[in-house]
Structure 1
Amino acid sequence: MSAAAPTTTPESTTTPGVQHGAGAHSDGGWGLVPVQTRSERFTSTDPAAFPDVTGREVDWKLSPVARLRALIDGDLDGSPYAYLARETPGATVEWIDRADPRVGTAGTPEDKAAANAWSSAEKVLSVTLDGDEPSAITIGRSSLDREPRAGHTLIHAKANSQAMVVLRNTGAAHLVENVEIVVDEGAHLTVVTLQEWDDDAVHLASHHARIGRDAQLKHFVVSLGGSVVRVNPSAHLAEQGADAELYGVYFADAGQHLEQQVYVHHDAPKTRSRVNYKGALQGAGARTVWIGDVLIARTAPGTDSYEQNRNLVLSEGTRADSIPNLEIETGDIEGAGHASATGRFDDEHLFYLQSRGISEHEARRLVVLGFLVEVIQKIGDADLQTRLVDAIEAELAAGEATSIETVA
């Protein structure tokens, strides 16, 4: 099968040894110098263009690299897989050749694992959204096996369309994939990716979004299942008036690693972004990582941007890393800010509710749901929101049961 030639940014051909825009000089050759401007990170669709991943790199240092090795640089099954699609008029889905000119219009991989998936995928699952009436499509994957696999999905919302795409992931998996999202002029698109994998699943995903003039993208990452799940969305606000809202909800239980590295690039005038990720951790060894990068370029006067991350710690033995970053290259902005907080379960809230006759179990449930549901309610689909609330309740109950057994 013919394939598009791998592409690289100028750094990959003119600066040997460069890793994500950082050279080995004052760092003693370890590749630990941070990128000074987020947009300068090395990109390529060729995994061989990236140095070996050691776990010391800026984008891997908080990830369990040893558990991800087969996906980062191993051989991958890139054949088309079975999926179940439920669609409405205005939404179509089909496999296309990876040499199709539409592939690669949203972005280029920034890490070796994403490049490995890009070069290994034999076909691209193309989702096209068009028409005057709002449309929706749910794509379910539940029959992936435990062998290392590559995937590539392209979601294209055509001009002035309105649509919702739900990517639901369940069952077993050992998957690394790229998801491209192209939002044309005036389109309004909501993308929801649900990670409800089996307990031993491993999933790496890079989402690349390009948002056109006066277009809007609402992007949701909901991670509940899996052993290691790392979903990294990036949004390029490429034309005037582009709008991006990036949301996340995650619940990590014992031994689970849930990670998300978010990047918003304001590259045009009068663009707007909001980032809001909220997570809860419960059980020994539960680990979450959130990194939020926002770059307001010189070409983006009139930008309005804000990002935040909140984490709720429900038990001992957990760890939540939360790192917001904001770069501003122009003084002509409407506003920009970031916030991050990680805190323990509030015993005062628990006491207050119990003093009014509510049991401890019910009080904990109400506090956790109140914390996370704020984000879920923004999806705008009542049935999906109800199902996600039920799933979070199940996670909470399972964690409490494990704690009781451990104490016993």
Structure 2
Amino acid sequence: MTTTTEAPAAGAKGHTDPAGALVGGTAVVPVQTRSERPWSFDPADFATPTGREVNWKHTPLARLQSLLLNEPAPHDVIGVEVEGAAGLEQGRLTVGQSPRGEVFRPEDLPSAIAWAQEAEAPLLRIPAGVELDEPVVVRLTGRGGVAHAHVVIEAQANSRGTIILRHEGTAEQAQNVEIIVRDGAALTVVSVQRWDDDAVHLSAHQARVDRDATLTHIVVSLGGAVVRVNPSVELAGAGANGNLYGLSFSDAGQHLESQVYLHHKGPHTVGDVLYKGALQGASARSVWIGDVLIGPDAVGTDSYEANRNLVLTDGARADSIPNLEIETGDIVGAGHASATGRFDDEQLFYLQARGIDEEEARRLVVLGFLIEIVQKLGIPSLEEEFTAAIEAELAGEPAA
């Protein structure tokens, strides 16, 4: 694990972790940039988070203590069903068996524990040149208890396909998802969180996208007590594309979080990051942190990240922190944006002036705000499901 214990060199970049840390009683200089975050496969290399760390300061640590303990957990806590697997290769990978670990590097304690606890990681592979006729749905149903998982998804050269991870039921799960998109492949990964109200879900997704390949990564978080899904995507090859989208609806008592990292490493890469969330109810909380790094060799990059939040009631809170680092002047464009606000009274007035009652007008405004992400799924059945789920959230009905 890389740990800095000396003072930063003259001219070092400013950091966003003013609290620093103490490891073994020794002061540690805070990480200077997102790309320098320490990593290790050994849980013993990570101190237990205190909440002062930059990557934990917005997370309710008291609600996920079970996932900070490196103790053996049963392997039957999560039931697994795979649907639509025609053309998909499946297997299991021990530690050291390729391609497990080709991309993934644990950056926090729960992720390192999940790596160590998963003796045989499931492999979902789309073979070279294969185009899947329908999405592969991996249904993960929690039966109660603590669970750890490491999953490897590989799209080999010039393949095409969509893989959907559906999380339901109840569990306290630390999960790693390792994604490899080989040259010329096009892969869509959708992670759906429709857990029961008492579930805790910490998930680290790490991906590499190679030459002329495309990854579309979509996070939909609707259920669970604490849900934290952190995608990290490296556009490594020339002409690589990364589309990172997210949708969340947080209600009373829910904490929904995503820390997104997009690293433009190769030349002429394109990135599009858009996360949208709605919140209603006392203590509803959402957190979005977006980091984009355009590296020194990423000439010709075109990148944009944005986060939009709609707060529907008093007592709800959305934290939104976009960050952008550019290490080359030869780019097509780069930008970031963040906005959090309440209903637009003018929109409500416009709709009510045309005979639409206030409740229906509010429903239309929220649907209009979130539907942009729903439509990016490109899967009619999911689009219908999530539209209905949003309407149920607005009406305060139990999730279907």
Q: Tell whether the structures are fold-level matches, with TM greater than 0.5.
A: yes
Q: SS of the residue aligned with 2:382?
A: helix
> Contact conserved, 1:78 with 1:123, CA < 8 A, in 2?
no
What are the equivalent positions in structure 2 for 1:159-308 lying under 5 Å apart? Answer: 159-308=157-306
Unaligned runs of 5+ in 1: 1-7, 401-408
Q: 1:36 aligns with which of 32, 38, 58?
A: 32
- Partner Cα separation in structure 1 for residue 249 and residue 286 of structure 2: 9
Q: CA deviation at 1:386?
A: 0.9
> Contact conserved, 1:27 with 1:33, CA < 8 A, in 2?
no
Judged with a 3 Å threshold, the aligned counterparts in structure 2 of structure 1 residues 201 and 32 are, in CA distance, closer, same or farther, namely farther
Q: CA deviation at 1:351?
A: 2.1
- Partner Cα separation in structure 2 for residue 388 and residue 26 of structure 1: 39
> Contact conserved, 1:245 with 1:273, CA < 8 A, in 2?
yes
Corresponding position of 2:46: 50
Corresponding position of 1:5: none
- Partner Cα separation in structure 2 for residue 44 and residue 237 of structure 1: 22
Judged with a 3 Å threshold, the aligned counterparts in structure 2 of structure 1 residues 29 and 264 are, in CA distance, closer, same or farther, namely closer
* 1:118-143, Cα deviation, whole Å (9 max, x unpaired): 1111221110112433343100011x
1:68 aligns with 2:64: yes
> Contact conserved, 2:250 with 2:256, CA < 8 A, in 1?
yes
Judged with a 3 Å threshold, the aligned counterparts in structure 2 of structure 1 residues 22 and 63 are, in CA distance, closer, same or farther, namely farther
Q: CA deviation at 1:15?
A: 5.1
Overall identity of the aligned pairs, in %? 53
- Partner Cα separation in structure 2 for residue 244 and residue 43 of structure 1: 23
What are the equivalent positions in structure 2 for 1:81-100 lying under 5 Å apart? Answer: 81-100=78-97
Corresponding position of 2:330: 332
- Partner Cα separation in structure 2 for residue 172 and residue 28 of structure 1: 35
Corresponding position of 2:140: 141
> Contact conserved, 2:167 with 2:195, CA < 8 A, in 1?
yes
> Contact conserved, 2:21 with 2:29, CA < 8 A, in 1?
no
Q: SS of the residue aligned with 2:292?
A: strand
> Contact conserved, 2:7 with 2:29, CA < 8 A, in 1?
no
- Partner Cα separation in structure 2 for residue 76 and residue 360 of structure 1: 53
Q: SS of the residue aligned with 1:323?
A: strand
Matched residue type, 1:137: V
Q: 1:124 aligns with which of 121, 128, 137?
A: 121
Matched residue type, 2:201: H
Judged with a 3 Å threshold, the aligned counterparts in structure 2 of structure 1 residues 29 and 183 are, in CA distance, closer, same or farther, namely closer
> Contact conserved, 2:287 with 2:319, CA < 8 A, in 1?
yes
> Contact conserved, 2:285 with 2:318, CA < 8 A, in 1?
yes
- Partner Cα separation in structure 2 for residue 34 and residue 382 of structure 1: 45
Judged with a 3 Å threshold, the aligned counterparts in structure 2 of structure 1 residues 17 and 162 are, in CA distance, closer, same or farther, namely farther
> Contact conserved, 2:19 with 2:53, CA < 8 A, in 1?
no
> Contact conserved, 1:274 with 1:307, CA < 8 A, in 2?
yes
- Partner Cα separation in structure 2 for residue 200 and residue 45 of structure 1: 29
Q: CA deviation at 1:70?
A: 1.2
Matched residue type, 1:62: H
Judged with a 3 Å threshold, the aligned counterparts in structure 2 of structure 1 residues 141 and 16 are, in CA distance, closer, same or farther, namely farther
Matched residue type, 1:123: E
Corresponding position of 1:154: 152
Q: CA deviation at 1:17?
A: 13
Judged with a 3 Å threshold, the aligned counterparts in structure 2 of structure 1 residues 369 and 69 are, in CA distance, closer, same or farther, namely same
| Alignment length (residue pairs) | 386
1:112 aligns with 2:109: yes
- Partner Cα separation in structure 1 for residue 104 and residue 265 of structure 2: 14
Q: CA deviation at 1:399?
A: 6.9
- Partner Cα separation in structure 2 for residue 28 and residue 334 of structure 1: 35
Mean alpha-carbon deviation: is it higher for 78-87 or for 335-344?
Answer: 78-87
- Partner Cα separation in structure 2 for residue 293 and residue 384 of structure 1: 28
Unaligned runs of 5+ in 2: none
Q: SS of the residue aligned with 1:241?
A: coil
C-alpha RMSD of matched pairs (Å):
2.4
Q: TM-score, normalised by structure 2?
A: 0.91
Q: 2:384 aligns with which of 378, 383, 386?
A: 386
Q: SS of the residue aligned with 2:59?
A: coil
What are the equivalent positions in structure 2 for 1:1-20 lying under 5 Å apart? Answer: 8=1, 11-12=2-3
Judged with a 3 Å threshold, the aligned counterparts in structure 2 of structure 1 residues 199 and 40 are, in CA distance, closer, same or farther, namely same
